[in-house]
Amino acid sequence: MKTYNHMEMMIIAAARELENGSTAAVGTGAPCAAAMLAQKTHAPDLIILFEAGGISPRLVDMPISVGDSRTFHQASKAGTMGDVMDACARGTVDYTFLGGAQIDRYGNLNSTMIGRDHKKPKVRFPGSGGANDFASLCWRTMVMTVQDKRRFVEKLDFITTPGWLDGGNSREQSGLPRGTGPYRIITHMAVMDFEPVSKRMRVISLHPGYSFDDVQEECGFELLRSEIILDTPKPGVSELEILRKEVDPRGYLIGR
């Protein structure tokens, strides 16, 4: 019997990807929780940046927006959006967490609209915000999302945020900085990366209780398989306790 839920699994799996001393640009919600958990466990010197200007805060309480005063608590700098984007452009940000309504096999994201008519879409979403800048300039982009074939689609209705574009070396040819790009896709079923040559999404780790076929069934395109697919370690007792008591004690995220 599981002692954790889907959201807890995703947050913990994402937190484990953040090394001590690395830099991560995050938004609110699950990415912020992952960064907080990493900072409170194995990465006390993780440098967190928020789009509105909070640089290297000590996160004690969960911020509810990127401009929340809590994103400046004991920060190295109460800066501006320009300061954060400048840090990304200078190549000093290792990780960023993004999301969207749709993602394709190359890690391109849609957070703009569903439908074919931009003037009259079926659904209108908030748009890019800083997502395009982060994905274009930060070294490694990670996405946290539920595994659902309605999200993992063959073709995006709109490309808001660049991933590996058309695969291969198309990202570099477009003029985006060499060495940047999608790194990990973390869902409630698995962890994916991108095959180095084709840049197609592939499964590298399966969460407890799920198989490759389970993941493929909830994906709208063919996934690649790593030569060795690892078993994602279950959330540890300490990780769950810190997540529940210190990161999200009110259950805003993990209570969903």
CA angle (190, 193, 198) in 5-degree steps: 135
Closest CA to 186 of 4, 9, 2: 9
Whether 51 is catalytic is yes
DSSP string, 126-173: ---TTHHHHHHHSSEEEEE----TTTB-SS-S---B-SSTTSTTHHHH
Closest CA to 106 of 176, 17, 1: 176
Buried b / exposed e along 34-48 (16+ C-beta atoms within 10 A): bbbbbbbbebeebbb
Closest CA to 28 of 48, 46, 8: 48
Closest CA to 159 of 199, 119, 183, 128: 128
Catalytic residue among 17, 51, 218, 239: 51
CA angle (123, 158, 170) in 5-degree steps: 165
The DSSP 8-state label assigned to residue 79 in this structure reads -
Residues catalogued as catalytic: 51
